[in-house]
Homo-oligomer: A and B are copies of this chain.
Amino acid sequence: MEGLQQEAWALLRAARFGVLSTLSVRVAGYPFGSVMPFALEESSGGLIVLMSGLAEHTKNALTDPRASLLVLEDGKPDADPQEAARLTVVGNLERAAATAVDHARAVYLARHPQAQRNLELADFSFWMLRPLHARFIAGFGRMGWLDAATLLP
């Protein structure tokens, strides 16, 4: 599994966007997908996201922290996405504590400088998806589950 772990980590470092799945409040209990930029916090393996209080996924996360983020290999925009490597990180979404906001902002803005404009709007806040497990599909017949500890390099 070591090769898979290294490839999964490289994918998390390279990607800037994913699809977040949360548990819907509006359509009770149904899983709900939404587009989500993220930044990897490399020391913990946490995925930092910036969420609007108006967004469905934020309402969902405030009610139930269970979530996953699907990350696709970049740079193959016209390819069949079923042939790209992809990783689903499953974990809990936690709002950044007051003491962690400065660090989250720095890591996030280094990856998404244009997000500065959102920080100037009311009602955006930093959250972190803390991985529990991850499902990695590296390619045909090369796949497996990784747990949070083995995901870290």
Contacts and interface: CB of A to CB of B under 8 A. Distances in A.
A70 interface: yes
A24 B67 CA distance: 10
Nearest to A89: B33
Given A21-B21, A56-B135, A30 B67 contact: yes
Copies of chain A in the complex: 2
Interface stretch (A6-14, A40-48, A78-86, A101-109): A78-86
A35 B68 CA distance: 13
B133 A68 contact: no
Interface string A8-26: 0000000001011111101
B26 A21 contact: no
B31 A32 contact: yes
A39 interface: no
